[in-house]
Structure 1
């Protein structure tokens, strides 16, 4: 039996999570159904637009995404500080972008006066909404339900469109985060849907590269903040240029099928993260399949297991091999 989602997400351990949703019943999220010849390519824009739209409503940031044929990947950053800092009116305004709210919240939004008891009830309800607005499960629910309704309407059918549960991996440290970001960004290259990262339509890496050409970072994506330092600005703890070089290098290795000799001109970020190049290429091809709910150095995984009351986590040996610091000589 799968564990409840709340048992797999610990904001005390990490704010970064990799989520994957897959279709059922031979359903197509995008691409072309070779059996019927029907093209669903336009659905890739649906998911990209809705994903970025919801990130502006929830206290969640999109770090990376890739829309594939019958599934999509997204790496999310939970911004608990942002949600905690919202005033009552801000919470109500954000929640009303998702639904109708309540009679009390609608009166409040229209600037109608509320007595003390009504304001207390609304404040209590808003605290529930505040928690939901920083909850990955609620984010994925609104994302998947909207796409399912549109797809079922287009397919003229009813029933389940997505698998019952989305997959979630907690990224516990910089190594796990970097490997997962690259794994997601390189999905189209690995699947031979694109020759290069910059040609990968409906992916975060394409958006980042296009913005980088103009000397900026995309406003809709969580920014790269550079190497860790004090004070550390909010953002992914790598320089953008270093990450782009890493993805480009990894994409060329994957595309050329180089399994033996590795190009001697290695991206400097691999040295900083202390990741063996051979291990890195393995991770960019097998990240999702080799690791389950918790990913990072073995000692971090064991610590979080204790916090969550888990006795064992699948993939701990691979965490020791690929993410744990090398033994001192």
Structure 2
């Protein structure tokens, strides 16, 4: 039975979620369509620009992403805390850059003589928007609807572009987060679309390596205003940034080293050039090389719904009203 998204998200257990959206029919998100001989490579930039734009409006951070030919991966971090500090006007300004403003809210903003009942109704609407600004379902909806409309217009067709719902996966601890991020960043290398991290365009690892690359710029259709600023990818706070309280609890250099090392091994034609130097993060996690490579290669296939230790899975099950979580989702790192 399909579960409601609300029953799959528990911010008391984790703010980190892995999301996947896949195209229906033989629709191409990106890449070369061998049937029509058309190229859809330009659509990758649509996705990157849109998700960065949405991250600047929502209280949601992007930890990792990979834009593939008929699907994409996102690892998101939800931060509810800024929601409470936003004024009603700020919430309106953000949300109305995405959707049209109801007449009732316009009257609340411009007419001080609006009745108390109308004031209350307008604030109810605005507080609903406030909750949506920290909701991955609304983030994904705003992303997927925008891409579907542009793609269907370009293809001169109508109907579904995406499968019914995006898939989400709760990442319950640091080990699950790190493994999932590496799995996402290694997607183009596993698919043999790229030979190395440095050449894996439209992934978060590539963006982190090339901060000056012109990615994530708001398009004119987005109605950019003074409010818009490109929010950077969610940062790493290991080593040099240990004073930061919000961020991914590892070193960026260690993470890039791990992904690069893994990618060289995963690429069969690169086996002769593998560095014998073991990445530091593997020792930190207490992982054997073969176990890590299996996790980084099959994470998306072998783990579903929620991923973490047995203790974390048990707590998540209790908080989401489930009786149990499949034991296969236990990430056995040690």
Same fold flag (TM > 0.5): yes
Q: Superposed, which structure 2 residues align to 1:64-83 within 5 Å?
A: 64-83=64-83
Distance 1:248 1:112, change over 3 A: farther
Question: How many Å separate the matches in 1 of 2:236 and 2:142?
Answer: 27
Distance 1:302 1:56, change over 3 A: same
Match of 1:105 in 2: 105
Distance 1:159 1:129, change over 3 A: same
Match of 2:255 in 1: 243
TM-fit CA distance, 1:211: 2.3
Does 2:164 align with 1:152? no
Determine helix, strand or coil for the equivalent of 1:161: coil
Residue range with higher mean Cα deviation, 239-248 or 222-231: 222-231
TM-fit CA distance, 1:293: 0.5
User: Are 1:246 and 1:269, in contact at CA under 8 Å, matched by a contact in 2?
Assistant: yes
Question: How many Å separate the matches in 2 of 1:269 and 1:204?
Answer: 19
Match of 1:267 in 2: 279
TM-score, normalised on structure 2?
0.88
Does 2:118 align with 1:118? yes
Deviations 1:65-112 (A, max 9, x none): 110000000000001111122111111111111111222322455586
Match of 1:10 in 2: 10
TM-fit CA distance, 1:228: 11
Match of 2:297 in 1: 285
Structure 2 residue runs of 5 or longer lacking an equivalent are 214-229
Distance 1:249 1:109, change over 3 A: farther
Determine helix, strand or coil for the equivalent of 1:56: helix
User: Are 2:62 and 2:77, in contact at CA under 8 Å, matched by a contact in 1?
Assistant: yes
Residue range with higher mean Cα deviation, 281-290 or 218-227: 218-227
TM-fit CA distance, 1:232: 4.6
Does 2:317 align with 1:317? no
TM-score, normalised on structure 1?
0.89
Determine helix, strand or coil for the equivalent of 2:258: helix
Determine helix, strand or coil for the equivalent of 1:169: strand
Match of 2:197 in 1: 197
Determine helix, strand or coil for the equivalent of 2:267: helix
Q: Superposed, which structure 2 residues align to 1:81-230 within 5 Å?
A: 81-110=81-110, 114=114, 116-211=116-211, 219-226=231-238
Q: Superposed, which structure 2 residues align to 1:300-311 within 5 Å?
A: 300-311=312-323
TM-fit CA distance, 1:227: 5.7
Question: How many Å separate the matches in 2 of 1:89 and 1:158?
Answer: 36
Structure 1 residue runs of 5 or longer lacking an equivalent are none
How big is the alpha-carbon RMSD for the aligned residues of Structure 1 and Structure 2?
A: 2.4
Deviations 1:201-239 (A, max 9, x none): 1111111001299xxxx9421111116998652111111
Aligned length: 317
